Structure 1
Amino acid sequence: MLDGPRLAPRSGGPATSLVVLLHGYGADGRDLIDLGDYWAPLLPGAAFVAPHAPEPLAVAPVGRQWFGYVARDDRERWAGVQSAHGALDSFLDAELARLNLPGSRLALVGFSQGTMMALHTGLRRQMAPAGIVGFSGIHVLPPARALAAFDAGIVARPPVLLIHGDLDQVVPPVALPRAVESLQGRGIAVRAHLSSGLAHGIDGTGLALAGSFLSEVLA
């Protein structure tokens, strides 16, 4: 079972929404949990949780991974999001039940590999999340022969905000327009922002855009 750091609602009352923060390859939940403090003034009723990915990092003694990297290609990423989907989906169910919230009060925020997971799992939830934010990520697609089954698996179409740095050398910036095209082609409303001068990370503009988006979809 996944677990990680949590922040209670700033309001001091019961949670009215849940924001789940999904870290990137080689980090863990502590890497993103502080985003909850940043956005809490905009989302005083939100609980935040940043689960540690299910696997220890294969190439170092510290850090976690949603799935391992060797080739860093489309086939590997597709197998990876599938393998980690069940654990994340079950964690989301458990957190919502713990807070007595419906799935419609859930928002997912991912960074890099965490964005891949947020998009893959978020679009397969039986009750659509309120929204998904993805920083520096990819919408992972299957091999062409599996596209029909892939599309059939998309049962939720929440609004999505994607943010990427134009100097990203880890996940190339071209991943942003590709993800927009892929998602819009599947009936999903997408907003996108390319951050000037940003490498593989999150800047102040991205934080502000994401905060406004979350406060809108969780209003």
Structure 2
Amino acid sequence: MSKRSYFYRNSLSIVFLFLFIITLAAQALTGWKEHNKDLSEAQVPILSLFAYLGTGHFISATFENFQSEFLQMSLYVVLTIHLRQQGSAESKKLEGKEEVDRDPKPGKDSPWAVRKGGWILNIYSYSLSLAFFILFFISWGLHLYGSWIDNNVQQEIHHQLRESLAQFLAESTFWFETFQNWQSEFLSVASIVILTIYLRQKGSPESKPVDASDIETGK
């Protein structure tokens, strides 16, 4: 066990989780004020912050972003198994097998699933992509639910009939929200795949060594 502090050993995840909590709280606060502004202009009673957290407005906005991120990561994990990009730090080598391709062998320090073997090992072997896909579908469903609820709130404010979930799915609103997030995630992945061919960041595991050739693939 490393003698480094707990924070040092886990600083990357801790910092990102801290940033996530801070920005989620900021989103909730600003979204609450924006939503209450719309309600006030429509002469509808405003909501407390706690009540706002259960509204379609907050649920939709939150999971609209979550689902696109999880889709990006799930596809990235799966597609990088077989697809290559010459010169990219994000790609496996063009030829030959790599360490991640080897068959698992049980050892005293191996994860429990590897030592157990059988169907448990088979599931564990694909658990990363499975987890991301499950998180994607859950987030997509919650985005749909939140967007539908918020849409019906707007319908009532404007004295229009509420819509069924099927009616809402047949309209463009939800799909516009969905595709505008998906395309940005696909662009961000394409950017890091392509930019790491030619650009460097000293000290980052997401970059090739500074003196590496542009055509050198992988880290």
TM-score by length of 2: 0.25
Query: Which is greater in Rg?
Result: 2
Which has the larger share of strand? Answer: 1
Which has the larger share of helix? Answer: 2
TM-score by length of 1: 0.25
* Higher normalized contact order (CA 8 Å, seq sep 6+, divided by chain length): 2
